[in-house]
Structure 1
Amino acid sequence: MDDHTLRVLEFEKVLALVADGAAFSVGREQVMALRPEVTFEGTLARQRETAEMRLLDQMGIDVPFAGARDVRAAIHAAAIGQVLDPPDLVDASQTLKTAFRARQVVDKLRDRVPNLSTIAETIADFRRLSDEVERAITPRGEVADNASEQLATTRRELRIAQDRYDQRVQAALADAIRRGIAQEGLLTERNGRKVIPIKSDYKGSVQGIVHDVSSSGATVFVEPIGVVEAGNQVRELQLAEVREVRRVLQKLTTLLGDREDEAMTSVLTLGRLDSLHAKIAFGRRVKAELPQPGDGESWLRREGATIVERGRHPLLRGTVVPTDIAVGGEYAAVLITGPNTGGKTVALKTLGLLTLMVQAGIPVPCADSSRFVVYPRLYADIGDEQSIEQSLSTFSSHMRNVKAILEKAAPGTMVLLDELGAGTDPAEGSALARAVLETLLERGCTIVATTHHGELKAFAHNDPRLRNASVEFNLETLSPTYHLTVGLPGQSNAIAIARRLGIDEEVLNRANAQLTPEHFELETLLAEIRAERSAAAEARRREELAREESEEMRRQLAIRRDRVEQERMEILSGAHREAEDALVQMRRELDAERRKMATRDFDTRAADATMKRMDSDLAKLGQRARPVRPEPAAARAAVVRDLAPGDRVHVRDIPQVGEALSAIGEDGRVEVQFGSIRMKVSVDRIDRVETALPQESVALPQRARPNVSMELDLRGQRAEEALSRFELYIDDAFQAGMPFVRIIHGKGTGALRAAIREALRGHPLVRKFESAPANEGGEGVTVAILAG
């Protein structure tokens, strides 16, 4: 991309803002080295990476960068054989460990962020180095005793030798003090050896090595002969310690230096992830809406129109008026006119800078409905670059830039021209500006230009490839609104501004006299069109507000309706559960009454009355226990109306298709044949009815309902024999219309109970089952509630 364009559009300043969010210097360095891509594929790759990093940010997943440092110099030093100091090893180890943790975080979401995962794959595993450094170097940056066995032994021996040496020197000092030959009662060191300060008059009284003499000559510093050997031993151990420490550091350095390329790549990749993270932080600060999390491509185009909606220049501070502009596609060029300081150049720079940011993979502050075309070339001539030293006037500097643009312009080029044709005779400047525009259009360029020349407004109006645009100006406040209006040329407002500033009316009248009637007609027409557009925009705004309020009201009503329906269903479901429980309990009581009837001393009249009462209650509870299903009334009515004998019936909870044997009875039930089993089924349990095909009628054999006991006793039987009896018993009980049965299997080891309950669990004729009450057998008896 052209360096002059990057400079005039202030791309470097944007990079500096992005770099402020980097965690360490390598990331900042990579941000500052960013340049816009010149291909669609390159831009797409950049934006996909940014979109995926934004997705991680939206999910609240932090890629770790804590503790990262630029350790490339240390890595290179290790590779060429230098021994690294503990702090350098710690920094390198921590940075490489952080890089691998970043890779692990990204790898966990490989399916969601495939491009970031591909980047992170280049980070190598240096956990062995990290473990060794953490074991060998303390948090204070010192080599630990346990860095090696030899170092631990040497330091232990050194401490013992040092204690012994200190004791002997202290004893020699005490003797010198007692004899009155010590200058003072303190030990000191000279040349790394501990010495006693002896008065010079008594230096012959102490045998030893003189290491130093005071400046006055009154004191000599003597190492007593009796401690020399102990001092020598300490010194030897100190040197041994230094050698072993260096050997440990050399070993750790080799672990790093032998993998220089992998380490360098890992640091650079961590910097790349950091630069992407810095882009996202910048996007949050400028409230960028593109790219959307995980979407780095739907808003990019190879060709067509660039559409910027609510675009904001990222370098502006305070309240920024957003810019809406579209160029390319149907209109290859946009010509912006209007008064000075009205915002023409800002609109021009905003479009150009946002385009560069898109192609560099940087989030852009605009609405997510914006669309951007990728341009392989973008040239801009913005600002006044006049130079006295180079004898360049304003016009000359513009022409020099235009010349360079014309030499490079080709299809797929975006050209931004500020104050085209300014700085010279208006007639010639206008003609030259028109010629430049026509030439660039013929070469297939996309152009946005600003100008004050009225002739160019007419040119843009008459040429179908161009479109007029203007910046608005508030005549009441004499200030620009910075709002860009596409489709209308700008008004100069020069005389109106002069009047507001107090210029003599006679001067203004003379100025008006110089203008043609057509000028006044055009200005009046433009003012009327602007007023109509403003009114239409206000009407659209109110309509949109009303629509949003209507949608919100509709949404709230829907939420309220769903909440009411949910509460209603919960209430009904609770009532149905209670009714079903009561129904089961009443059936048990009814069964108990029937068993009592078999005894001799049983009051048959009382039992008969009880049976009638319970039958009545049973019918009422059965009605209450029927579940209310959200089935359309029309569909249910159709089933009831169309059901006829011979139809194929699909009943809920019964996997087999049945055949209707009768029409619907007064009790709302229909008799259905399932193979050899006949039963009555409630209509609301029928899911679907298939009309029977015409065929010759065949009389089905009528099987009398068997007389079945309410209990089946399987105690003492093997599981295979018990299951065979169980299957026959359930069929007979179902045909007899029994509501529930009791299976007595005993407690024992529990094997028979488990087999029976496993068979009940998937049985089509059983709705549910449970253990009998404790006073009726408990876990030794299973009560099965039959379907029907």
Structure 2
Amino acid sequence: MLFPNDIESKLGFDKIRERLAVKCKSAMGTELAEKVRFTADIDLIRKFLQQTDDFKKILESDGAFPSNYYLDARPALAKARVEGAFLDERQFRDISLSLTTIDSCVRFLKSHKEEYPSLYELTNGLEVSAALVKSIDAKIDDDPKVRDNASAVLQNVRRNISQKYQQVRKTLESAFKSAAKEGFIPDGASITVRDGRMVIPVSAEYKRRIKGFVHDESSTGQTVFIEPATVLEGNNELRELEYAEKREVIKILTELTDELRANTDSLKRAYRFLGVVDFIQAKARLALELDAVLPAVKEEQTITWKEARHPLLFLAHRNTDKKVVPLNIELNHDQRLLIISGPNAGGKSVCLKTVGLLQLMLQSGLLVPVGEESEFGVFEDIFIDIGDEQSIENDLSTYSSHLSNMKFFIRNAKLKSLCLIDEFGTGTDPQFGGAIAEAVLDDLKRKEANGVITTHYSNIKNYAEEKPGLINGAMKYDMANLEPLYELEMGKPGSSFSLEIARKIGLSHKVIEYAKEAIGSKNIDVDNLLLRLERQKQKVIERDRALKSKEKEVSQLQSKYQRLLEEMETNKKSIISKAKQEAASILKETNREIEKTIRHIKENKAEKKETKRVRERLTQLKGKVEEEKKVIPAVVQKEDGPIGIGDAVRIVGQEVAGEVLSLKGNGAEVQFGDLKSTVKLNRLEKISKGQSKQINKQRSQPNNGLNLNQKFAQFSSTLDVRGRRAEEVFSIVDRFIDDALLFDISEIRILHGKGDGVLRSVIRDYLRKSNLTETITDEHVERGGAGITVVQLK
């Protein structure tokens, strides 16, 4: 049930219906749009909504749904039901075009029944007579006229008409030329037709000079139109042929009408289908215009709306590029009645009307402009009390009208009712009006009615704060600029900001102070408390916004740092690898130079001058080797176990070693020489004290050169790595290959043992990836077999 009778105009639903009707293509669709009504049948609501949503998807996907010739043939069908009646050519042409459209709609929906099942259901039991359409098209052309070949009789009559017309025309033209030669014809005149007969125009003074029948004269009387006697018989025959044509056309149309009459029932269903399709497409187009969606529809009385927008306000603001502040609202079993308070012109009434209009639209089968995650309940009643209802005829004041509405609410409201009351209790003495409003509210609460109520009365706000099933809501207000934000905040009452608004518009301080005293300290304190809470909340919101901005900035910097770190690690590995290759090449070159030098000295029998020159060259090579050596980091052996206080550690990837002074969470305080620093544990690796001293010694003392003789004397071409862990073998093998290359040894052996073959597989996989190895094979069976890997270096 809806109350009052003009609820649609009060909520603006009449304007929604008007927009819907305009989008219909036919009178059939328009009639359905004008009949849109509120229903509480949830199955019917879901059916209507799903149909509209399916058609909206068709429009969004550009599904090429038939859009032309939504013609209303119902008047023609009604005429055809009368025995002996016949339809004209235009009516038959419209029926043919519209039946073709209906057939195309049916074909489309049947071919997309999986995608749009709710629309496909409309085609059940629907048949379009292809034979009827074929018969109409065979006898009616596009002009529309009955075709010449619609019957043999008609074809013969029309052929005779054409021939007779040419004869009469030829005779008349001869008479016209003779009269013109005699000067009987006015200047610029020509052969014409009067009363369906061909005549010639003659000047009035010469009308008796030409034998024939006068059919008409001009408005001035200076010209008469004469049918010459020579064509009188021919015109009579032509007229008889035209009558024969008309009789044959009526006969053909009557036969077509009889054929159509036999299909009247199926045709009525077909045009009812076309009207429904037209109506649904209009609802879908309206939904696209409003940016409306299909929300979840539940049987219980609930409202959980996200981003809800008043449709008419949305359309009005869109034309001016303004944005509508969306409404977020929730009513459920625990909070059935929402009491909204706040300043005048702050959006309370718009909020209330949005609830009423959207609920009315949904229960009328229309999609609604809300967020897709919104949920709608179904109400059996929608009652509203909005606006000035002063009635001169019934001698009712505004307040009396409000009380009459409240009486209706109290008598009829129940669990499944939605009550919307604007400016609750106003129109009379505030003390009594507030008390009566509170009593009405208490009655609605007892009946578990649902609703939204706007008010300025403090006692109503207090009642909502204390009683279960009710919740306060406030329209937010910009305290800095004293301007409404039109945003609903649930869970707290709002202030009317009366004194603040009075200050803003410029009322004197004296007047405002007087008002404060008249209001009383208690009410002032409550209002001030609300003001302070609002200011504090806005400050918290601003701080939260600033904090989120900082967090975003920190996150971006962290991402940038991580990216740079990854790039640095990648570049470091590349530089080290390149440096090793270059150093190996230089060492190999140096070894060759040494051998060449020794051979040269021997060949020159150690002449002092030549020896001095060679030594200078070796000194240059030594310097080059020393420079390259500086870029190759030392291989450090990690120690097992967790890092503890007093342990020697090194920063991963760097030649920096120190001692752990203390542990703090996931970090450690480390002494690096004279510097103390806190470093995360995952960036440290544990090493021996001796290695720590060696690293620090290398960092603090200059390198004294490369003793090739001593290193060559200590070098062995077989490396024993048995008992080593896989992760520490790689650096040992790298150093071993570097030394072999330094001394120009092309074949080396790595003793790893057989065991379970894990260490062998790891080493060989690693060697295969190196660009310094030529071949990798097992040792001879008698000398160790698979327990030793023989490597040929490039």
Shorter-normalised TM-score: what interval? 0.5 to 0.7
Tell me which of 403, 407, 415 is aligned to 2:407: 403
TM-score, normalising length: structure 2: 0.63
Tell me which of 13, 36, 57 is aligned to 1:34: 36
State the SS of the aligned residue for 1:315: helix
Tell me which of 300, 307, 310 is aligned to 1:310: 307
Is residue 181–residue 198 contact of structure 1 (8 Å, CA) maintained in 2? no
Is residue 279–residue 362 contact of structure 1 (8 Å, CA) maintained in 2? yes
Q: Distance in 1 between matches of 2:78 and 2:465?
A: 64
Deviations 1:733-761, CA, capped at 9 Å, x for gaps? xxxxxxxxxxxxxxxxxxxxxxxxxxxxx
Cα distance change of structure 1 residues 232 and 486 upon mapping to structure 2, 3 Å threshold: same
Q: In the alignment, which residue of structure 1 is the partner of 2:670?
A: none
Cα distance change of structure 1 residues 199 and 13 upon mapping to structure 2, 3 Å threshold: closer
Is residue 475–residue 497 contact of structure 1 (8 Å, CA) maintained in 2? no
Tell me which of 116, 119, 129 is aligned to 2:119: 116
Q: Distance in 1 between matches of 2:553 and 2:28?
A: 48
Where does the alignment leave 5 or more consecutive residues of structure 2 unmatched? 318-322, 567-754, 762-794
Q: In the alignment, which residue of structure 1 is the partner of 2:498?
A: 494
State the SS of the aligned residue for 1:473: strand
The answer to whether residue 298 in structure 2 is matched with residue 284 in structure 1 is no
Q: In the alignment, which residue of structure 1 is the partner of 2:248?
A: 244
Q: Distance in 1 between matches of 2:36 and 2:404?
A: 28
Q: 1:491: Cα distance to partner?
A: 0.9
Q: In the alignment, which residue of structure 1 is the partner of 2:374?
A: 370
Q: Distance in 1 between matches of 2:216 and 2:269?
A: 55
Bigger CA radius of gyration: 2
Cα distance change of structure 1 residues 539 and 124 upon mapping to structure 2, 3 Å threshold: farther
Is residue 43–residue 374 contact of structure 1 (8 Å, CA) maintained in 2? no
Cα distance change of structure 1 residues 236 and 443 upon mapping to structure 2, 3 Å threshold: same
Q: In the alignment, which residue of structure 2 is the partner of 1:437?
A: 441
Cα distance change of structure 1 residues 125 and 521 upon mapping to structure 2, 3 Å threshold: same
Which residue identity does 1:286 align to in structure 2?
Answer: L
The answer to whether residue 87 in structure 2 is matched with residue 84 in structure 1 is yes
Q: In the alignment, which residue of structure 2 is the partner of 1:128?
A: 131
Q: 1:162: Cα distance to partner?
A: 1.6
Q: In the alignment, which residue of structure 2 is the partner of 1:163?
A: 166
Tell me which of 503, 507, 511 is aligned to 1:507: 511
Q: 1:280: Cα distance to partner?
A: 1.8
Q: In the alignment, which residue of structure 2 is the partner of 1:578?
A: none
Q: In the alignment, which residue of structure 1 is the partner of 2:47?
A: 45
Q: In the alignment, which residue of structure 1 is the partner of 2:6?
A: 4
Is residue 49–residue 294 contact of structure 2 (8 Å, CA) maintained in 1? no
State the SS of the aligned residue for 1:332: strand
Cα distance change of structure 1 residues 522 and 79 upon mapping to structure 2, 3 Å threshold: same
Q: Distance in 1 between matches of 2:236 and 2:448?
A: 89
TM-score, normalising length: structure 1: 0.64
Cα distance change of structure 1 residues 543 and 323 upon mapping to structure 2, 3 Å threshold: farther
Structure 1 range deviating more: 335-344 or 519-528: 519-528
Q: 1:199: Cα distance to partner?
A: 9.2
Deviations 1:506-527, CA, capped at 9 Å, x for gaps? 2222222344444344234323
Q: Distance in 1 between matches of 2:511 and 2:227?
A: 107
Q: 1:340: Cα distance to partner?
A: 1.4
Deviations 1:374-405, CA, capped at 9 Å, x for gaps? 11111111111113343221111111112222
Is residue 99–residue 123 contact of structure 1 (8 Å, CA) maintained in 2? no
Cα RMSD, aligned residues only: 3.6
Q: Distance in 2 between matches of 1:252 and 1:531?
A: 81
Tell me which of 136, 143, 146 is aligned to 2:146: 143
The answer to whether residue 420 in structure 2 is matched with residue 416 in structure 1 is yes
Tell me which of 338, 357, 373 is aligned to 2:361: 357
Is residue 337–residue 469 contact of structure 1 (8 Å, CA) maintained in 2? yes
Which residue identity does 1:308 align to in structure 2?
Answer: W
Cα distance change of structure 1 residues 288 and 203 upon mapping to structure 2, 3 Å threshold: closer
Cα distance change of structure 1 residues 186 and 392 upon mapping to structure 2, 3 Å threshold: closer
Alignment of structure 1 residues 331-730 onto 2, 5 Å: 331-535=335-539, 537=541
Is residue 26–residue 70 contact of structure 2 (8 Å, CA) maintained in 1? yes
Tell me which of 60, 63, 72 is aligned to 1:61: 63
Q: Distance in 1 between matches of 2:553 and 2:71?
A: 51
The answer to whether residue 331 in structure 2 is matched with residue 327 in structure 1 is yes
Q: 1:170: Cα distance to partner?
A: 3.6
Cα distance change of structure 1 residues 336 and 209 upon mapping to structure 2, 3 Å threshold: closer
Q: 1:122: Cα distance to partner?
A: 5.3
Q: 1:548: Cα distance to partner?
A: 13
Q: In the alignment, which residue of structure 2 is the partner of 1:720?
A: none
Cα distance change of structure 1 residues 374 and 501 upon mapping to structure 2, 3 Å threshold: same
Q: 1:86: Cα distance to partner?
A: 2.0
Aligned residues: 554
Cα distance change of structure 1 residues 402 and 166 upon mapping to structure 2, 3 Å threshold: same
Q: In the alignment, which residue of structure 2 is the partner of 1:75?
A: 77
Which residue identity does 1:310 align to in structure 2?
Answer: E
Which residue identity does 2:49 align to in structure 1?
Answer: Q
Q: In the alignment, which residue of structure 1 is the partner of 2:688?
A: none
Q: Distance in 1 between matches of 2:298 and 2:98?
A: 39
Tell me which of 96, 100, 107 is aligned to 2:99: 96
Q: Distance in 2 between matches of 1:549 and 1:152?
A: 91
Q: Distance in 1 between matches of 2:209 and 2:501?
A: 108
Q: In the alignment, which residue of structure 1 is the partner of 2:658?
A: none
Q: Distance in 1 between matches of 2:374 and 2:222?
A: 90
Q: 1:100: Cα distance to partner?
A: 1.9
Q: 1:431: Cα distance to partner?
A: 1.5
Cα distance change of structure 1 residues 495 and 238 upon mapping to structure 2, 3 Å threshold: same
Which residue identity does 1:312 align to in structure 2?
Answer: R
Q: Distance in 1 between matches of 2:532 and 2:209?
A: 118
Which residue identity does 1:315 align to in structure 2?
Answer: L
Where does the alignment leave 5 or more consecutive residues of structure 1 unmatched? 292-298, 562-662, 670-788
Q: In the alignment, which residue of structure 2 is the partner of 1:732?
A: none
Q: Distance in 1 between matches of 2:447 and 2:220?
A: 94
The answer to whether residue 257 in structure 2 is matched with residue 260 in structure 1 is no
Cα distance change of structure 1 residues 350 and 163 upon mapping to structure 2, 3 Å threshold: same
Which residue identity does 2:138 align to in structure 1?
Answer: R
Cα distance change of structure 1 residues 45 and 197 upon mapping to structure 2, 3 Å threshold: closer
Q: 1:356: Cα distance to partner?
A: 1.0
Is residue 65–residue 99 contact of structure 1 (8 Å, CA) maintained in 2? no
Cα distance change of structure 1 residues 404 and 217 upon mapping to structure 2, 3 Å threshold: closer
Is residue 416–residue 448 contact of structure 1 (8 Å, CA) maintained in 2? yes
Deviations 1:462-483, CA, capped at 9 Å, x for gaps? 0011101111233444432111
Q: 1:301: Cα distance to partner?
A: 1.1
Deviations 1:344-380, CA, capped at 9 Å, x for gaps? 1111110111111111121211111211101111111
Q: 1:489: Cα distance to partner?
A: 0.6
Q: 1:539: Cα distance to partner?
A: 6.5
Q: In the alignment, which residue of structure 2 is the partner of 1:301?
A: 298
State the SS of the aligned residue for 1:483: strand
Q: 1:537: Cα distance to partner?
A: 4.8
Q: Distance in 1 between matches of 2:421 and 2:479?
A: 27
Which residue identity does 1:5 align to in structure 2?
Answer: I
Which residue identity does 1:503 align to in structure 2?
Answer: L
